[in-house]
Amino acid sequence: MPKSGSTPKITRRTALAGLSAGAALLAMPRLGRAADETIRIGFPTPLTGPFAAEARDQVKCAELAVKLVNDKGGIGGRKVELLVRDDKLNAGEAATRTLELIEKDKVHAVVGALSSAVQLAVNEVTRARGVIYVSISQSDTINEAKDFSKYTFHEALNPHMTTAAVARQTLKKGMKVAHLVADYAYGHEMLRGFKRAQAAIGADNVGEILHPFGAADYSTFMPRLMSMRPDVLCISNFGRDQANAIKQAVDFGVKQQMKIVVPVILHNQRLAVGPDVFEGVVGGANYYWGLEAQSKSAAAFNTAFKAANGGAIPTDYGAYGYSGVGSLLAAMQTAGGTDTDKVIDALEKLQYDLTKGPQHYRKCDHQSVQSVLVLESKKKSAMAGDNDLFAILANDTASDDMLRSCSELGHAT
């Protein structure tokens, strides 16, 4: 703050000179600064809230992907910068942050979001502005013609392929299945996936209970779930909801009567409630560090992550951050820059193998075709170390057959 009396005088002459110089400066970059301009990737993710643990891993892995590219000299000599924003797990907040990233920070592409509902909000914004968006959390809707655009890419697994893989490992003809489902897009889509898989296998649905998103107490649902007498209980929720729901189901003795199955078994939530609670729970996953025994890509990814994070291991949702950003940067590398149409073309043709084996984006809906893991949480006595959480029950290799057909999703084929 200037002291009173020392206010600098602005004459009309200096003001005019300053203004025109400013205008010239503003106009210049449009003409020729492209060569040394950094490539900016927007990264909205819920750093606060019940999915915070998974979100932080996403950021660490996304940063790793950026670092590896920068260490090799960037893309066409341009450095890459990751702009992380907290979307607070709120669709409105995510849309605002994304718009800001596009309008103010002039990002060249957006990667991120960790909720099926929030990613649709981000997608709305990016497709309206013609900016590439690589979604890295589960959703079926985002691939359907209604929400899809040529700018939309989905790196994560989707509920259809995840639930099908899990059901194949856990359900048999004639089994009775009950569902406890988070009452929002993720839960609804997982339930739909499980029911479709159940019908194909010939298992019977004995009931489903929707619970409010972010609930801390699940005890009130347990007596009714147990009175349904199912063989399998599918708990379709995410983040801390998963930890709390499984913990309380186990408290009520659910595991003595039925098997607990989840669409996506979360590394961080297993850590949050301990081995005894999760023992025997089966769920799907995009990634597990223990894959390194059978995959060179996983071993390389683990090594790079450990080196950058003081020996810590990467987790499931973290791996999405790495492959989401990594695949985008690989496509930019091929396209020789950030020209949107060229990058889209490169992404559609890209064959990448960053964490677990070959992957590619299917042309019609930009869904990443990839392997699906099915994991079982280990008994405490069977754990070889603190990080030895899961046994790999299945590693279904990537194939277009896992996905719903392009025509079913409403895409012209």
Closer of 69 and 266 to another protein (Cβ) = 266
The least distance separating another protein from the CB of residue 244, rounded to whole angstroms, comes to 5
Pick out residues in 104-143 that bind another protein (CB under 8 A): none
DSSP 8-state secondary structure symbol assigned to residue 341: H
Single-letter code of the amino acid located at 57: D
Q: Is 273 in the site for another protein (CB under 8 A)?
A: yes
The least distance separating another protein from the CB of residue 242, rounded to whole angstroms, comes to 10
Single-letter code of the amino acid located at 325: V
Work out the angle at residue 195's Cα, subtended by the Cα atoms of residues 191 and 200, and round it to the nearest 5 degrees.
150
Pick out residues in 211-230 that bind another protein (CB under 8 A): 211-212, 214-217, 219-224, 226-227
The least distance separating another protein from the CB of residue 57, rounded to whole angstroms, comes to 10
Which residues have a Cβ under 8 Å from the Cβ of 173 and sit 6 or more positions away? 201, 202, 203
Which residues have a Cβ under 8 Å from the Cβ of 25 and sit 6 or more positions away? none
Q: Is 312 in the site for another protein (CB under 8 A)?
A: no
The CA dihedral of 356, 358, 362, 368, to the nearest 10 degrees, is 10
Residues 318-357 as x/- pattern, contact with another protein by CB under 8 A: ----------------------------------------
The least distance separating another protein from the CB of residue 226, rounded to whole angstroms, comes to 7
> How far is it, in rounded angstroms, from Cα 247 to Cα 351?
40
> How far is it, in rounded angstroms, from Cα 363 to Cα 133?
15
Closer of 68 and 215 to another protein (Cβ) = 215
8 A C-beta contact, residue 176 and residue 230: yes
The least distance separating another protein from the CB of residue 161, rounded to whole angstroms, comes to 27
Which residues have a Cβ under 8 Å from the Cβ of 358 and sit 6 or more positions away? 351, 352, 398
The least distance separating another protein from the CB of residue 256, rounded to whole angstroms, comes to 8
8 A C-beta contact, residue 254 and residue 209: no
The least distance separating another protein from the CB of residue 379, rounded to whole angstroms, comes to 15
What sign does the dihedral 142-143-146-151 (CA atoms) show? positive
Output the six-digit token pair for 152: 């939309």
Neighbours of 50 (CB within 10 A): 22
Helix (H, G, I), strand (E, B) or coil at 174: coil
Phi, psi (deg, nearest 5) at residue 375: -120, 155
The least distance separating another protein from the CB of residue 141, rounded to whole angstroms, comes to 20
Q: Which of 59, 145, 201, 210 lies at the binding interface for another protein (CB under 8 A)? A: 210
8 A C-beta contact, residue 83 and residue 107: yes
Q: Is 162 in the site for another protein (CB under 8 A)?
A: no
Closer of 80 and 266 to another protein (Cβ) = 266
Pick out residues in 50-79 that bind another protein (CB under 8 A): 50, 52-53, 56
Q: Is 388 in the site for another protein (CB under 8 A)?
A: no
The least distance separating another protein from the CB of residue 206, rounded to whole angstroms, comes to 15
Query: Taking contact as CB under 8 A, which single stretch among the options 12-20, 110-118, 243-251, 343-351 is the one that binds another protein?
Result: 243-251
DSSP 8-state secondary structure symbol assigned to residue 261: E
Query: Taking contact as CB under 8 A, which single stretch among the options 10-18, 87-95, 166-174, 272-280 is the one that binds another protein?
Result: 272-280
Q: Which of 88, 85, 72 is nearest to 40 (CA)?
A: 85
Q: Is 183 in the site for another protein (CB under 8 A)?
A: yes
The separation between CA 125 and the C-alpha centre of its own chain, rounded to angstroms, equals 18
Number of shown-chain residues binding another protein (CB under 8 A): 39
Q: Which of 158, 269, 338, 368 lies at the binding interface for another protein (CB under 8 A)? A: 269
The least distance separating another protein from the CB of residue 209, rounded to whole angstroms, comes to 5
Q: List contacts with another protein (CB under 8 A).
A: 48-50, 52-53, 56, 183, 209-212, 214-217, 219-224, 226-227, 240, 243-244, 247-248, 251-253, 268-269, 271-274, 276-277
